[in-house]
């Protein structure tokens, strides 16, 4: 199954759609593999760092 990853910081929101995840059938909450989460955070951090320097 897939889910959206969303991160917000200082008024900027980054949305990455359709990331492979385990999604709870009860509440719909997504859990990402640790490696996936690490890559998402690194990528989003770089993106935000670029945005803040512009």
Tell me, what CATH number does 26's domain have?
Answer: 3.10.20
- pLDDT band per the 50, 70, 90 thresholds, residue 54: low
Mean pLDDT taken over the chain: 91
Q: Which domain holds residue 32?
A: 2-53
Give the up-direction half-sphere exposure of residue 11: CA atoms within 13 A in the CB hemisphere.
Answer: 2
H/E stretch holding 47 reads helix 34-53
Residues 6+ apart with CB under 8 A from 2: 18, 19, 20, 21, 23
pLDDT tens sequence across 8-26: 988 889 999 999 999 999 9
Copy the structure tokens of residue 7.
């991160």
pLDDT of residue 51: 72
pLDDT above 70: percentage of residues in the chain: 94
14, 6 Cβ separation under 8 angstroms: yes
Q: What is the domain count for the chain?
A: 1
Q: What is the pLDDT of residues 29-44, one digit of tens each?
A: 999 999 999 999 999 9
At 22 the three-state DSSP class reads: strand
């Amino acid at each position: 199954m897939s889910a959206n990853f969303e991160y917000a910081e200082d008024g900027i929101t980054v949305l990455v759609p359709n990331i492979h995840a385990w999604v709870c059938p009860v509440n719909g909450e997504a859990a990402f593999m640790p490696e996936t989460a690490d890559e998402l955070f690194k990528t989003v951090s770089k993106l935000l760092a670029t945005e803040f320097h512009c």
